[in-house]
């Protein structure tokens, strides 16, 4: 069954009302379709995963390329898609609003806006500026119908400013500015997670688990997290297998790196129905 954009957005909002779900991050059409086939309820794009697939570093892709990627992923699946929309591809609120309007038009069910500047010397927007940017994103979404979910991201722990108090202050301000879901990538301990969940309650929290973790989904759900994304984790896992196989071939002339490769017949069987 092909679900409409409105249905996908309604499904996505419903997922945030109770429980805890995983929102894995594909980087292309094939990975999106495969994740749908595993039974996940929603997907999220990954700026890093897609950038690497294009031979670029994370953050190096222009807005038009990212918008085209969002359209591709939305068209590839019947699942709701949350866009990793970086910092809105603009430094000012007006530019963020314009970018968000374009992102909504791709059919995404949700999108996140970061408070990172891209400037290593001053990696985070001042909180008042960041709030103004979130308000602009909120207004752009509301003008388009209001059903796209807005995620406010505090990038402190990714930007070399691992101050939990400032992170929480930012997330609370973003919630007040209209963010539907809050996200602080980089927090890892139970204490940090519980503090963020409590601070922004009853609004839902997204937790990033991009690497091996002692926490299970059961643990994370018990901490009150509503959704879990993996960022570039799956893409890095794929690259890990590729790099090992390629290096072993180049440096040793051996083919042992193919030992855990997926079977071509299995992949063909899975993807064949999409061509019908």
From CA 75, how far away is CA 107, in angstroms rounded?
9
pLDDT value of position 276: 80
Assess whether 182 and 97 both reside in one domain: yes
Assess whether 227 and 239 both reside in one domain: no
Assess whether 190 and 259 both reside in one domain: no
Q: Does 46 sit behind a cis peptide bond, omega within 30 degrees of 0 on the bond before it?
A: no
Assess whether 242 and 226 both reside in one domain: no
pLDDT value of position 2: 86
Q: Which residue has the tokens 């709701």?
A: 80
Give the tens place of pLDDT for each residue, 214-262: 999 999 999 999 999 999 999 999 999 999 999 999 999 999 999 999 9
pTM equals 0.97
pLDDT average, residue stretch 175-204: 98
| CATH number of the structural domain spanning residue 218 | 3.20.20.60
pLDDT average, residue stretch 160-168: 97
pLDDT average, residue stretch 63-75: 98
User: Is residue 264 within a helix (H) or strand (E), and if so which, with residue range?
Assistant: helix 264-271
Is the pLDDT reported for residue 1 higher than 80?
Answer: no
Assess whether 154 and 243 both reside in one domain: no
Q: Which domain holds residue 138?
A: 5-231
Assess whether 26 and 88 both reside in one domain: yes
Assess whether 50 and 144 both reside in one domain: yes
Assess whether 168 and 261 both reside in one domain: no
Confidence of residue 163 (pLDDT cuts 50, 70, 90): very high
List, as own/partner pairs, every contact residues 95-102 make where C-beta atoms lie below 8 angstroms and the sequence separation is at least 24, other chains included: 96/133, 96/136, 96/137, 96/140, 97/136, 97/137, 97/139, 97/140, 98/140, 99/63, 100/136, 100/137, 100/140, 100/141, 101/140, 101/143, 101/144, 102/63, 102/67
24 contact partners, CB below 8 Å, separation of at least 6 = 35, 40, 43, 44, 229, 230, 234
The counts of H helices and E strands in the chain are 11, 8
Mean pLDDT taken over the chain: 97
DSSP state of 102: H
Report yes or no: 265 and 272 within 8 Å, Cβ to Cβ: no
Assess whether 154 and 273 both reside in one domain: no
Assess whether 203 and 218 both reside in one domain: yes
Assess whether 16 and 139 both reside in one domain: yes
Structure tokens belonging to residue 163: 């101050």
Phi, psi of 48 (to 5 degrees): -70, -45
Assess whether 227 and 243 both reside in one domain: no
Is the pLDDT reported for residue 58 higher than 80?
Answer: yes
pLDDT average, residue stretch 201-205: 98
Structural domains in the chain (count): 2
User: Is residue 29 within a helix (H) or strand (E), and if so which, with residue range?
Assistant: helix 29-37
């Amino acid at each position: 069954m092909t679900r409409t954009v409105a249905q996908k957005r309604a499904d996505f909002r419903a997922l945030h009302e109770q429980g805890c779900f995983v929102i894995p991050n594909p980087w292309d059409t094939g990975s999106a379709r495969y994740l749908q086939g595993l039974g996940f309820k929603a997907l999220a794009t990954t700026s890093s995963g897609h950038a690497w697939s294009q031979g670029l570093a994370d953050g190096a892709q222009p807005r038009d390329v990212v918008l085209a990627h969002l359209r591709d992923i939305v068209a590839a699946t019947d699942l709701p898609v949350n866009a990793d929309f970086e910092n809105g591809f603009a430094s000012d609120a007006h530019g963020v609003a314009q970018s968000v309007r374009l992102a909504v038009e791709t059919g995404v069910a949700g999108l996140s806006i970061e408070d990172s500047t891209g400037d290593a010397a001053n990696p985070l927007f001042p909180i008042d500026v960041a709030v103004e940017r979130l308000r602009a994103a909120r207004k752009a979404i509301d003008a388009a119908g209001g059903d796209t979910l807005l995620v406010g991201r505090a990038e402190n722990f990714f930007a070399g400013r691992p101050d939990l108090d400032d992170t929480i202050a930012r997330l609370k301000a973003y919630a007040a500015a209209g963010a539907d879901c809050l996200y602080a990538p980089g927090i890892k301990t139970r204490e940090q997670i519980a503090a963020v969940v409590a601070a922004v309650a009853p609004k839902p929290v997204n937790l990033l688990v991009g690497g091996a973790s002692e926490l299970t989904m059961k643990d994370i759900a018990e901490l009150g997290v509503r959704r879990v994304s993996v960022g570039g984790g799956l893409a890095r896992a794929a690259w890990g297998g590729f790099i090992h196989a390629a290096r072993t071939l180049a440096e040793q002339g051996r083919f042992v790196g193919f030992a855990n490769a997926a079977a071509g017949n299995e992949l063909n069987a899975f993807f064949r129905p999409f061509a019908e």
